[in-house]
């Protein structure tokens, strides 16, 4: 999905995507374009000009909108899977919103390898694009193997081709321009290898932000253990430098009030929605894969919670921490790899309703949490965390129960966030 720059209409555009049956035995990929008009809240299919070439059907691609030299959509990469074979792409296409003509952009330099699920950001002043990471599968003797990329590239306009102009008077503007790929290595603290990351750019500062992700670790029994993240990274597209935003560090708290002790970082997740508006970062939804204790309590194996919370962060005042706009609801539901009968689903829905009622009742009788215990002079962060564990467990548990079903607030989940809250408060007050 992409939104054109201001002045080009109040629309969102969607290209391609896929439909898969619940068993993933059948796939269907799309190659159509749809426009969503924000004011009228209506979808409209966009028909390309007659005879215009077009990208083949795909999903997992990335798309963004640029306004220079003309308003257009750029589509990169993706994959096509028919259930028997798969193919990944590294082609680059442009769609002119005025002429409705697709153009495959021929590039020079060292392009990214074929991939899907990468991060794609516009460079300041629409001078080019920046591509980060991505995912692809390859076939080996033991079967298919996933590859998570960590490399970065920029694509820049390097000039115009007089040869193309002489060869065809009907050549599009994109065919007359010369674009070059260039591998780049950003400095700073870069994210570790992961996929399912989401990103957004702040056009007023030229800085991009990425959140979340997961990295699967192979086990001896050919199983996978997913390590999920809730880290927020900043990528300065001008200085080409990464930065991990640590809300317990001195550089975040400097120049403003310390992050509130009650502030809790967003839950780990993949495939969330991320957007920037008026220097405020918005995070919506995603998928959270529960730990073993949560899965056992739910009575299923592989199980993931679909989130629907909405949180925001003031980018000019990071010390204020994350703000919860809409807490997650019990209705957000789960997705499971195991088939469940309709009777089990009905029982599960009833249990979730009861959990929601319990959470509401607990919230109604909730008492205000007292101020956090102060840090004793000379006390280490480990000692402080141990000494105040009961306080932070109670405070974090109360906070989670106000927005989660009671059955989801497990001891392990509370313990993890209690330890993190104690550490963050220690660093904010003791300056560790």
Phi and psi, residue 220, nearest 5°:
-65, -30
The DSSP call for residue 53 is -
Residue 398 has pLDDT above 90, yes or no: no
Q: How confident is the model at residue 82 (pLDDT cuts 50, 70, 90)?
A: confident
Per-residue confidence (pLDDT) for residue 431, from 0 to 100: 55
Per-residue confidence (pLDDT) for residue 218, from 0 to 100: 67
Residue 248 has pLDDT above 80, yes or no: no
Cα separation, 168 vs 77, in Å, equals 27
DSSP string, 79-113: EEE-SS-EEEEEEEEEEETTT--EEEPPEEE-PPP
pTM for the model stands at: 0.72
- Residue ranges per structural domain of the chain: 1-116+152-182, 363-430
Per-residue confidence (pLDDT) for residue 29, from 0 to 100: 93
Termini Cα distance of the chain: 42
- Of 29-33, 192-196, 319-323, 394-398, the poorest mean pLDDT is in 394-398
- Of 63-67, 175-179, 274-278, the poorest mean pLDDT is in 175-179
More confident residue, 223 or 262: 223
Cα separation, 139 vs 86, in Å, equals 10
Q: How confident is the model at residue 273 (pLDDT cuts 50, 70, 90)?
A: very high
Contact 218, 293 (CB under 8 A): no
Per-residue confidence (pLDDT) for residue 159, from 0 to 100: 63
Coil vs helix vs strand at 122: strand
More confident residue, 60 or 258: 60
CA dihedral of 261, 267, 268, 270, whole degrees rounded to 10 = -140
Per-residue confidence (pLDDT) for residue 34, from 0 to 100: 96
Mean pLDDT score of the chain, rounded to an integer? 79
Please report how the helices 342-364 and 389-401 are oriented relative to each other, as an axis angle in degrees rounded to 10.
120
Average pLDDT value for residue range 328-346: 50
- Of 72-86, 306-320, 353-367, the poorest mean pLDDT is in 353-367
> Which residue, among 214, 396, 410, 418, has the nearest Cα to 293 in the 3D structure?
410
Let me know if 55 is exposed, middle or buried by CB neighbors in 10 A (0-12, 13-18, 19+).
buried
The pair of three-digit structure tokens given for residue 136, joined into one six-digit string: 């692809």
């Amino acid at each position: 999905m992409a939104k054109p720059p201001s002045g080009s209409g109040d629309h969102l555009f969607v290209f391609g995507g896929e439909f898969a049956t619940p068993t993933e035995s059948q796939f269907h990929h799309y190659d159509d374009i749809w426009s969503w008009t924000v004011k009228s809240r209506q979808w409209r299919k966009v028909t390309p000009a007659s005879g215009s070439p077009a990208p083949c059907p795909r999903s997992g691609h990335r798309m963004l909108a640029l306004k220079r030299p003309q308003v257009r959509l750029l589509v990169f990469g993706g994959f096509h899977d028919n259930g028997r074979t798969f193919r990944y792409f590294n082609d680059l296409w442009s769609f002119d919103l005025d002429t409705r003509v697709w153009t495959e952009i021929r590039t020079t330099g060292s392009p990214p390898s074929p991939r899907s699920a990468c991060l794609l950001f516009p460079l300041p002043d629409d001078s080019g694009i920046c591509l980060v990471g991505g995912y692809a599968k390859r076939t080996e003797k033991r079967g298919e193997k996933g590859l998570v990329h960590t490399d970065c590239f920029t694509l820049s306009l390097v000039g115009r081709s007089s040869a193309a102009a002489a060869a065809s008077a009907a050549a599009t503007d994109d065919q007359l321009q010369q674009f070059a790929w260039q591998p780049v290595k950003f400095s700073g603290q870069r994210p570790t290898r992961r996929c399912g990351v989401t990103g957004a750019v702040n056009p007023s500062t030229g800085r991009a932000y990425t959140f979340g992700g997961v990295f699967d670790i192979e086990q001896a029994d050919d199983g996978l253990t997913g390590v999920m993240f809730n880290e927020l990274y900043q990528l300065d597209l001008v200085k080409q430098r990464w930065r991990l935003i640590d809300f317990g560090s001195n550089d975040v708290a400097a120049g403003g009030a310390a992050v509130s002790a009650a502030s809790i970082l967003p839950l780990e997740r993949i495939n969330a929605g991320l957007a920037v508006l008026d220097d405020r970062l918005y995070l919506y939804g995603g998928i959270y894969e529960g730990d073993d204790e949560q899965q056992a309590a739910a009575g299923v194996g592989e199980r993931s919670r679909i989130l629907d919370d909405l949180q925001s962060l003031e980018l000019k005042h990071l010390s204020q921490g994350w703000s919860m706009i809409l807490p997650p609801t019990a209705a957000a539901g789960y997705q499971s790899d195991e088939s469940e009968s309709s009777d089990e689903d009905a029982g599960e829905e009833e249990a979730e309703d009861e959990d929601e009622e319990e959470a509401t009742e607990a919230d109604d009788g909730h008492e205000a949490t007292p101020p956090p215990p102060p840090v004793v002079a000379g006390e280490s962060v480990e000692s402080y965390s141990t000494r105040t564990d009961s306080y932070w467990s109670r405070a974090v548990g109360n906070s989670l129960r106000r927005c989660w079903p009671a059955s989801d607030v497990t001891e392990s989940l509370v313990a993890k966030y209690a330890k993190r809250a104690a550490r963050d408060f220690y660093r904010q007050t003791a300056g560790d």
